[in-house]
Amino acid sequence: MASNEDAAPKLYEDPETGEMISKSELKKRQKHREQQKKKAEKAANAPLPTHSKAKAKEPSEDDLNPNQYFEIRSRAINALRETKNPNPYPHKFHVNTRVGDFLEKYDHLKKNEVLEDVEIRVAVRIMSIRSAGNALIFYNCKSEGQTIQIFCEATRFSSESGSAAAFAEHHSVFRRGDWIGVVGVPGRTNPKNRDTGELSVFAKDVVLLAPCLHQLPHGLKDKEIRYRQRYLDLILNNTARQTLQTRSKIISYLRHYFDNKGFMEVETPMMNKIHGGATARPFKTYHNDLNMEMFMRVAPELYLKMLIVGGFEKVYEIGRQFRNEDIDLTHNPEFTSMEFYWAFADYYDLMDLTEDLITGLVQHVTGGLKTTLHREDTGTKYEINWERPWRRVPMIPTLEELTGEKFPPPDQFHTDETGKFLEKVLDKMGLECSEPRTNSRMIDKLVGELIEPTCVNPTFITGHPQVMSPLAKPDRNTPGLCERFEMFAATKELANAYTELNDPVIQRKLFLQQMEDKKKGDDEAQPIDETFLHAMEFGLPPTGGWGLGIDRLVMFLTDKYNIKEVLAFPLMKPIVETKTEVAPDGKKVEVVSVTS
């Protein structure tokens, strides 16, 4: 049997683009290039478009298709690599001014005022080019989301000759999308048809820092392209940049808040021998040296509580979690959460802290306490008021009110009889619960369909059954319930917290109950963690624990009802293309290309 290496077609380098392609594809490209040679050379050597009538009919690079543009530009940059005139990829350019600072500092300049004795050095990306003859060019540029004009005229050109021809030749290298370094002076232009000029850098020299080889679109709305090519989205859409900046602002606020309250930030393992800490389906991986299957963490909870056992009284962690579950508008398999653990506190303390934290954060990020969220799937518009105090909803009494049924005593929620009761309630309400129909999943289904849709303004759902919360401490007043709350807004969960279970005997019993659910087919049930149980036997003090979904909070505060909008690089289904190529020996082979 031939090896995979023998079966794979030999690849050849495309001298124009540097790509590795099949021989047949290379021949096809060479033939096409020969046919297009005259047209390509004409377009490649064409001067920058002007507004003059004499040159209105000259070929435009916008008329080229993306492949033609890429080949022409790659050829031009390859020539610059050889001549180094200019070097298309210099090592460094000294910047002394940020665009935002420039716009603020020199906004006072009057029309036709230029500060000849102030040197400005900025690095910017060209977004558009306008020219008026061969001696005057305007570059509209961006840097860090700010727009700035670069004013270039031959009389200021730093060339020895200072001629219009030398000026035009120097600037013929630049295209939309290029990074350029500009040396010049601050000033405001003197247009004849407007009362105020445009604040600009009057350039003495412009240096190519990194060329853009691809044709830069004039706009980008397609979500598939935006998510798969986030760099292009950030170049063209300021809203994408602002969303990620808001995300950073939110995370910074969280760190500052907890640091000021005496919490210590820690890091815990992302690969675990078992998938504990949350009820979720894990990702599996394999450790070659240890010859052992491992799991990407679904939550850092158990390690953080072991740190409390060890004597740290206030710890938090912001990090990635991994859950092998569905992808939808509000879920991504890899997501960011924050968890904290606070010794000698209970879930009542955590509710007070949550209200204080989130209202302060919303005020800090948005400037107020009322926000709007538009659901792109249903068109629903949520007006959210984050002001304190927040509504508190007891789970079981509320379900009884909404279903008209008296539920069994909470300490019987784990029994088969309760399971039969819950099935009848689901049937009565016309609800379907997917398999496995454990008591925990059926209660969760009722809550998700009947209570959660009422939680538009921030709401605490409290009084969870113990069967739903194997790591939470039993309620001090009602057997069968536990001291847990979930915080909802815009009908979606944002935070989850408990008074932590700290009795190792009860904890083992609840883990065993989870294993019974696993036998019934619940892949999300938590396994027994002997390491954690052993740590608990050394004494876990009374502790409150809390977790927050950061991605979802960013969604709500940026009015983005799609988690892909708030992740820099969301997971996308790969694009798989299969085509038939002819190998050098004449045999036809299938070539599969995968784009993430």
- What pLDDT does residue 23 have? 74
Mean pLDDT over the full length of the chain: 90
What is the reported pLDDT for 596?
A: 66
Rounded alpha-carbon distances, angstroms, from residue 513 to 507, 519, 589: 10, 10, 54
Residue 499 resides in a domain: yes
Q: Whole domain around residue 65: which residue ranges?
A: 4-83
Angle of CA points 151, 153, 158, to nearest 5°: 105
CB atoms within 10 A of CB 485: 26
Residue 518 has pLDDT above 50, yes or no: yes
If asked whether residues 147 and 245 sit together in one domain, one would say no
State pLDDT tens for residues 79-128: 999 999 999 999 999 999 999 999 999 999 999 999 999 999 999 999 99
Token couple for 543: 């502790």
Which residue type occupies 543? Answer: T
Residues 340, 368, single domain; the answer is yes
pLDDT surpasses 90 at 3: no
Is residue 149's pLDDT more than 90?
Answer: yes
- Looking at the structure, tell me whether residues 346 and 495 fall in a common domain: yes
Same domain, 79 and 104: no
Say if 24 falls within a structural domain.
yes
Are 179 and 65 contained in the same domain? no
List, in sequence order, every beta strand (DSSP E) within 323-457: 334-343, 370-374, 381-385, 391-394
User: What pLDDT is recorded for position 527?
Assistant: 79
Residues 348 and 250 in one domain: yes
Same domain for 104 and 139? yes
> In this structure, is residue 330 part of a structural domain?
yes
Give just the sign of the alpha carbon dihedral 540, 459, 317, 286. Answer: positive
Query: E strand or H helix at 339, and its extent?
Result: strand 334-343
Separation of alpha carbons 357 and 14, rounded Å: 57
Q: Is the bond preceding residue 86 a cis peptide, omega within 30 degrees?
A: yes
pLDDT at 24: 73
Digit-coded pLDDT (tens) for 257-308: 999 999 999 999 999 988 887 778 899 999 999 999 999 999 999 999 999 9
Residue of 81, 84, 102 whose CA lies nearest to 146 = 102
> Which tops the pLDDT comparison, 43 or 117?
117
Backbone angles phi, psi at 209, to 5 degrees: -105, -35
Check which CATH number belongs to the domain holding 398 and give it. 3.30.930.10
pLDDT above 90: percentage of residues in the chain: 74
Residue 57 in this model has a pLDDT that exceeds 70: no
Kindly tell me if the per-residue pLDDT of 410 is higher than 50. Answer: yes
460 belongs to a structural domain: yes
**Range name among 124-128, 233-237, 349-353, 592-596 with the lowest pLDDT average:** 592-596
pLDDT given at position 457:
98
Q: Does residue 45 have a pLDDT over 60?
A: no
- Tokens representing 397 are 């009494």
22 in the same domain as 103: no
- In a domain, residue 561? The reply is yes
Residue 9 has pLDDT above 60, yes or no: no
Interstrand relation of 292-296 and 284-287 (parallel, antiparallel or unpaired): antiparallel
280-283 contacts: CB < 8 A, separation 24 or more?
280/323, 280/324, 280/325, 280/524, 281/323, 281/324, 281/325, 281/523, 281/524, 282/322, 282/323, 282/324, 283/322, 283/323, 283/324, 283/333
- Picking from 58, 83, 108, the residue at the C-terminal end of a domain is 83
Interval 535-558: pLDDT, tens = 999 999 999 999 999 999 999 999
Question: Residue 453: its pLDDT value, please?
Answer: 97
Kindly state the percentage of the chain with pLDDT values over 70: 91
Residue 311 gets the label, from left (phi > 0), alpha (psi -120 to 50) or beta, of left
Confidence band of 58 (pLDDT split at 50, 70, 90): very low
Sign of CA dihedral 89, 91, 95, 98: positive
Residue 451 or 85, more confident = 451
385 shares its domain with 313? yes
Q: What is the pLDDT of residue 54?
A: 40
Whether the Cβ atoms of residue 108 and residue 142 lie closer than 8 Å to each other: no
Range with lowest mean pLDDT among 41-55, 239-253, 438-452:
41-55
Residue 588 vs residue 136, higher pLDDT: 136
Residue 89 falls inside a structural domain: no
Number of domains in the chain: 3
pLDDT at 39: 61
Residue-level pLDDT at 278: 79
* Digit-coded pLDDT (tens) for 156-214: 887 655 688 899 999 999 999 999 999 999 999 999 888 899 999 999 999 999 999 99
Read off the CATH number of the domain in which 147 is found.
Answer: 2.40.50.140
- Residues 103 and 192 grouped into a single domain: yes
Alpha-carbon distance of 206 to 184, in angstroms, equals 9
Q: Which of 21, 53, 83 is the last residue of a domain?
A: 83
| Contact assessment for residue 107 and residue 199, using Cβ atoms and an 8 Å cutoff | yes
User: Within 10 Å of residue 119's Cβ, how many Cβ atoms?
Assistant: 13
**Would residue 396 count as lying in a domain?**
yes
Domain boundary at 210, 245, 278, which? Answer: 210
- Both 113 and 26 in a single domain? no
Q: Are 95 and 148 in contact (CB under 8 A)?
A: no
The DSSP code sequence of 520-570 is TT-TTSPPP-HHHHHHHTTT--SEEEEEEEHHHHHHHHHT--SGGGTSSS-
Q: Distance (Å, rounded) from C-alpha 57 to C-alpha 75?
A: 24
φ, ψ (nearest 5 deg) of residue 128? -160, 155
pLDDT value at position 334? 95
Look at residue 17 and tell me if it is in a domain.
yes
Per-residue pLDDT at 47 exceeds 80: no
Q: What is the pLDDT of residue 50?
A: 43
Cβ partners under 8 Å of residue 302, min gap 6 = 276, 277, 529, 531, 532
Inter-residue contact 291 to 324 (CB < 8 Å) = no
The bridge status of strand 543-549 relative to strand 492-499 is: antiparallel
The DSSP code for 277 is S
Lowest mean pLDDT across 245-249, 296-300, 485-489: 296-300
Same domain, 389 and 483: yes
